[in-house]
Amino acid sequence: MRLVDLALQVLICFLISTLFWFIVEFRRRNDRKRGPGPTLLPGLGRVHDLPLQHTWFKLKEWGDRYAARGYYRVDLLDTRFFVITDEKIAYELLVKRAKTNSDRPAVPSIVDSKSANGSMEYLPLMGHNGMFAHVNTPITMN
């Protein structure tokens, strides 16, 4: 009988600690200091709200609702997205500041995918490095 009581106590402690973690994570993720956006669930974000087709309609709806300053943030399966809805902000970040702001995401399952030191088999995934330092220089035709 004592083993059953101990197992029940462990289960209750586990459920209470999981509930406590969920509440803390929920409050942390939805802190308005982190930027505007829809209410996020720990672990899921808002992935359950996105339709499989025509996803941009939902992103546009969130933009109309939350992007008063031209942007909002949303988490989808613990991946944070910063969605820009204002053309002027997009131009400033993606065109004028492209040298410092644009890069490709790292792929964790590929070892050293962003390095220029290894083989060139992951060239489409390669990020900023010394090899591509002169990409923005104009090419003159003779």
Which one is predicted more confidently, 134 or 75? Answer: 75
Q: What is the pLDDT of residue 116?
A: 56
What lies within 8 Å, CB to CB, of 73 at 6+ separation is 34, 35, 36, 37, 80, 81, 82, 83
Could you report the per-residue pLDDT of 63-99, keeping only the tens digit for each?
A: 999 988 888 988 888 788 888 899 998 888 878 887 7
Q: Residue 135: is its pLDDT beyond 60? A: no
What's residue 126's pLDDT? 66
> In angstroms, rounded to a whole number, what is the distance separating the alpha carbons of residues 127 and 25?
32
Q: Which pTM value belongs to this model?
A: 0.58
For 24-51, write each residue's pLDDT tens digit. Answer: 888 887 787 778 888 888 888 888 888 8
Residue 111 to residue 40: CA distance in whole angstroms:
31
Residue 137 has pLDDT above 60, yes or no: no
**Could you give the C-alpha distances from 55 to 38, 59, 60, 89, in angstroms and in order?**
15, 7, 9, 22
Tokens found for residue 87: 């053309």
pLDDT, averaged across the chain: 78
- Give the pLDDT score at 17: 94
What pLDDT, on the 0 to 100 scale, is given for residue 125?
Answer: 64
